[in-house]
Structure 1
Amino acid sequence: KVNSYVNAVHELSEIMSFDFSKALSNVHKSLTDSSKAHSKSISTDTLARLTELVESLKKEKHQRLLKLQGLGRTMQELWNLMETPMDKRRRFYDFSSLLSVPADDALEKGCLSLDIVREAEDEVKRLNALKSSKMKELVFKKQRELEEICRGVQMDVNSDAARQSLVDLIDSGDCDLSDILASIDDQIEKAKEEALSRKEILDKVDKWRQAKDEEKWLDDYEKDENRFSAVRGAHKNLKRAEKARSLISKIPAMLDGLTTKVKAWEKERGVPFLCDKQPLLQTLEDDIVMRAQREEEKRQFREQKRLQGQLATEKEAKYGSKSAKKKPLGQSLNTDN
C-alpha cells in the first residue's frame, strides 16, 4: 500500500512538476533513502500521512486543471475579441487540449506545472491590458462595418449620431465594452439579413434607373436635327438608339414588377422601403403618374398633328393646292395664233 501511494505521488509530481523526493521526505525520510541500510517506514502514521499527501496532491491537480481551463477559455475569448493572429496564439496551443479534460484523466508530463499556470496568468493579464486600449478601436471598427453594410443596400443610417452615441456610452462607463461589441455584432447580423432581403429589389431599381437614363439620352438624341448626318460615330448612336427604344418599351413592366415587390416587402415588415432616404413606393408611383401624363401629352400632340393634316387636306380639296401653277398671261391668245 505504501508503494501504491509512493507511485501515485510520483505520477502527480510528473504532471505538476514538483520535487518528488522532497514531498516524500516530508512524510518520512526513509521513503527517499535509496540505500538498503534502512527499510521504508510502513507504520500507520506513515500510511496516514501518505494518504493525506496523495489526497492533497489530487486536490491541487484538480484546482490547477480548473484554473488553466478557465484561463484558456478567457484567452480564447480575448484572442477572438481582438482578432489576435494565429502565430501569436501558437505557443499556447497545448492549453486547448486541457479545456475539456476531466480531472481524473491521465495528463501529459508537466502540463500542470506552476510555470505553465503563471505563463497562462501572464498572458491573460497582457491581453486584458491590451483589451482596454484596443476595445474602443474595435467598437468603432465594428460600427464602420455596420455602416458599410447599410450603405451598400441604401439602408438609412445616421453615422455621426451613432458614433457620438457610442462615444458618450463608452465615456460614461455605464456599459461594459464587451456588451457594446456584442450589441453591434447583433446589429451587423440583422443588417446582413436585411441587406439580403433588399438586394433583389435594389438590383431591379438599378435596371429601371439605367432604362430611364437611356430614355433621357434618346429624348436628347431625337431632338438633334443633325443625328442622321454623316458625322463620326453616327452609326454607333443609331445602334444605341435602337437598343434604347427596346429597353424603354420594358419600363412599364419594370415599374409594375417593382411596385409589386416593394408592396410585398413592406407588408411583410410593416415599414416603408427606403431608397436614397425616400420611400421607394412613392417614387415608383410618382414615376408611373408622370409617365402616364407624358404619354397623354404625346397622344394629344399626335392627335393635334393629325387634325391639322386633315384640315389641310380638306382645304386643299376644296380650294385647290396653293402650289398649283397659274396659267401665264396671254396664254389663250398664243393658242389662237
Structure 2
Amino acid sequence: MTTMPPPPSTTVSPSCTTCASLLHELQIIWDEIGENDGERDKILLQLEQECLDIYRRKVKNTRKYKADLHQLLADAKAEIANLVSALGENASLFSPGKGPLKQQISAVNPVLDELRLKKQERMKGFYETESQIARICIEIAGNDRSIDSADPEIDERDLTVKRLGELKSHLKELQNEKSLRLQKVNSSIKTIHELSVVMSIDFFKTVNDVHPSLSDPSKAQSKSISNDTLARLTSTIHSLQQEKQQRLENLQGLGRKLIELWDLMDTPADERRLDHVTTLISASVDNVSRLGCLAADVIEQTEVEAERLNVLKASKMKELVFKRQNELEEIYRGVHMDVDSDAARQILISLIESGNVDMSDLLGSMDDQITKAKEQALSRKDILDRVEKWKFASEEEQWLDEYEKEDIEAIEVIWFSYVK
C-alpha cells in the first residue's frame, strides 16, 4: 500500500522571542564586547544569508513533499484505474473528487484498499478454478508430472466476473468429462474383473499392468482417466474376451470328445465326470460367467481326462466290438434268422489284430448294422406274426372239420341204430 510521505521537519524555537528581540540582545552583547561596525555588518549579513538558506531548504523540501503527494495520488489513481479495468467495475464509482492533496489522498486510500481486497478475493477464485482446470487437463492428458505441481498462470489484466464465469463453465464441462471417463474406467475394470473371475486370472496384476492407480481400491477418485489408460483398458478387455472365446471353444471341443468317448465305451452316468465342462458345450460366450469355469487348470484337467479315455478306449474297443456283435446276433436269433457267429467273430478278430481298421469306424459300422438288423427284425416279425396267425387259423379250421366229421359219424350211428 502506498503511504503518505511525512512532512519535512521544522525547527521550533525554545523561546517565544522574535527575531527583533534577539537582534536587540545581540546588539547589547556587541556593545559590551566593543565590536566594531564592520564586524557587526559582516555578522548580520552572514545571519541573513543563513536565514535565506534555511528558507530555501524549507521551500525545496516542501515543494518535494508536494510533488511526492502528487505522485502518490497519481499512482493511487492509476492503480485504481487498473483495478477497475481488471475487475470490470464501474469507474465512475471510484472518483477521488476535488480538494487539497491530503484530502484527495485520504478519500482515495479506502477505495484503493477495497479494490485491492476485491482483487485478492477474485484472484483466489481464479486460482482455485484454474487450478482445478489444470489438474483435470493433466489427468486427461496423462502427463507424468505430479498433479499437485499444477500452478496456473493467471492473467491479472482480466479478472472480470464474466471471465471467471467462463472459466467455471469450462471447469464444469471438464468435470463432466472426468465423470464420464471415470465411469468408463470403472465399467472397464468391472468387465476385466468378470473376465478374470471366469478364467481365474490375477485381476489385480492385470489392471496394475494397465495403470498402477487402477489396482488400489482406496483411491477410487484418483484413478487414471487418460486417453492412454482408456485405450489400454479397451485393448485388455478385447484380449481377455478373445482368450475367453478360445478357452470356451477349446473346452467345448474337449466336452464333445468326452461325450463321444463315454458313449463309445458305454460309460455309466455315475462315472461320467466333469459335468461342469459338458454343460458348456451349447453355451454362448456371453452366458458363461461361473467362477473359474474357464480356468487353465480346468482345461488341463479336461485334457488329461480326454487323454485317459483315449488310452482306455484302445483297451476296451475289442470288448465293445464283441458286445455289439452279441447284440446283433441276439436280434437275428429273436426273429429266427440264421447267422454264422463263429465266422463273423473270426472276421472281427482278424480285422482288430491287423490294425488296419479304425476301431471307431468299425463300431460305427456295427451300429449301422444293428440299426438295419432291428429294422429287418421288425419287418420279419410282422411277417412271422402273420404266418403264426395263419397257422393258428388253419389249425382251428382243421379242428372244426374234424369236429364236424366226428359229429356226422355220431349222428349216422344213432340213425342206423334207430332204424334197426
**What is the deviation of 1:205?**
6.0
Of 107, 115, 122 in structure 1, the residue corresponding to residue 304 of structure 2 is: 122
Of 340, 347, 350 in structure 2, the residue corresponding to residue 168 of structure 1 is: 350
Query: CA offsets, 1:236-288, max 9 Å, x none?
Result: xxxxxxx99728969xxxxxxxxxxxxxxxxxxxxxxxxxxxxxxxxxxxxxx
| Whole-angstrom distance in 2 between the partners of 1:110 and 1:131 | 29
Per the alignment, residue 159 of structure 1 pairs with 341
**What is the deviation of 1:132?**
0.6
Of 62, 66, 72 in structure 1, the residue corresponding to residue 255 of structure 2 is: 72
Work out whether residues 62 and 103 of structure 1, in 8 Å CA contact, stay in contact via their aligned partners in 2.
Answer: yes
Q: Which has the higher contact order (CA 8 A, sep 6+)?
A: 1
Paired residue type of 2:279: S
1:82 aligns with 2:265: yes
**What is the Cα-based RMSD across aligned positions, in Å?**
3.0
| Closer, same or farther: CA 166–10 of 1 in aligned 2, 3 Å | same
Alignment of 1:126-165 (within 5 A): 126-165=308-347
Q: Which has the larger radius of gyration?
A: 2
Work out whether residues 328 and 369 of structure 2, in 8 Å CA contact, stay in contact via their aligned partners in 1.
Answer: yes
1:110 aligns with 2:263: no
Work out whether residues 15 and 110 of structure 1, in 8 Å CA contact, stay in contact via their aligned partners in 2.
Answer: yes
Paired residue type of 1:26: D
**What is the deviation of 1:206?**
6.5
| Whole-angstrom distance in 1 between the partners of 2:280 and 2:390 | 59
| Closer, same or farther: CA 197–36 of 1 in aligned 2, 3 Å | closer
Paired residue type of 1:146: L
Work out whether residues 211 and 247 of structure 1, in 8 Å CA contact, stay in contact via their aligned partners in 2.
Answer: no
| Whole-angstrom distance in 2 between the partners of 1:32 and 1:141 | 60
| Closer, same or farther: CA 155–37 of 1 in aligned 2, 3 Å | closer
Per the alignment, residue 208 of structure 2 pairs with 25
| Whole-angstrom distance in 2 between the partners of 1:39 and 1:245 | 106
**What is the deviation of 1:174?**
2.4
Work out whether residues 210 and 229 of structure 2, in 8 Å CA contact, stay in contact via their aligned partners in 1.
Answer: yes
Per the alignment, residue 16 of structure 1 pairs with 199
| Whole-angstrom distance in 1 between the partners of 2:331 and 2:220 | 82
**What is the deviation of 1:39?**
2.5
Paired residue type of 1:48: A
| Whole-angstrom distance in 2 between the partners of 1:123 and 1:248 | 72
**What is the deviation of 1:173?**
2.5
Per the alignment, residue 39 of structure 1 pairs with 222
| Whole-angstrom distance in 2 between the partners of 1:211 and 1:3 | 87
**What is the deviation of 1:200?**
4.2
| Whole-angstrom distance in 2 between the partners of 1:178 and 1:248 | 60
1:95 aligns with 2:277: yes
**What is the deviation of 1:171?**
2.2
| Whole-angstrom distance in 1 between the partners of 2:215 and 2:355 | 58
**What is the deviation of 1:208?**
8.7
**What is the deviation of 1:196?**
1.9
Q: How many residues align?
A: 220
Work out whether residues 331 and 374 of structure 2, in 8 Å CA contact, stay in contact via their aligned partners in 1.
Answer: yes
**What is the deviation of 1:87?**
1.1
- Unpaired segments ≥5 residues, structure 1: 215-242, 251-337
1:188 aligns with 2:370: yes
Of 234, 240, 258 in structure 2, the residue corresponding to residue 51 of structure 1 is: 234
Alignment of 1:270-285 (within 5 A): none
| Whole-angstrom distance in 1 between the partners of 2:270 and 2:290 | 23
Paired residue type of 2:380: R
Work out whether residues 213 and 219 of structure 2, in 8 Å CA contact, stay in contact via their aligned partners in 1.
Answer: no
Work out whether residues 30 and 38 of structure 1, in 8 Å CA contact, stay in contact via their aligned partners in 2.
Answer: no
- Unpaired segments ≥5 residues, structure 2: 1-183, 404-420
| Whole-angstrom distance in 2 between the partners of 1:49 and 1:182 | 51
Paired residue type of 2:248: L
| Whole-angstrom distance in 1 between the partners of 2:236 and 2:206 | 8
Work out whether residues 194 and 289 of structure 2, in 8 Å CA contact, stay in contact via their aligned partners in 1.
Answer: no
Per the alignment, residue 361 of structure 2 pairs with 179
Per the alignment, residue 2 of structure 1 pairs with 185
Alignment of 1:219-298 (within 5 A): 246=399
| Whole-angstrom distance in 2 between the partners of 1:75 and 1:172 | 27
| Closer, same or farther: CA 247–96 of 1 in aligned 2, 3 Å | farther
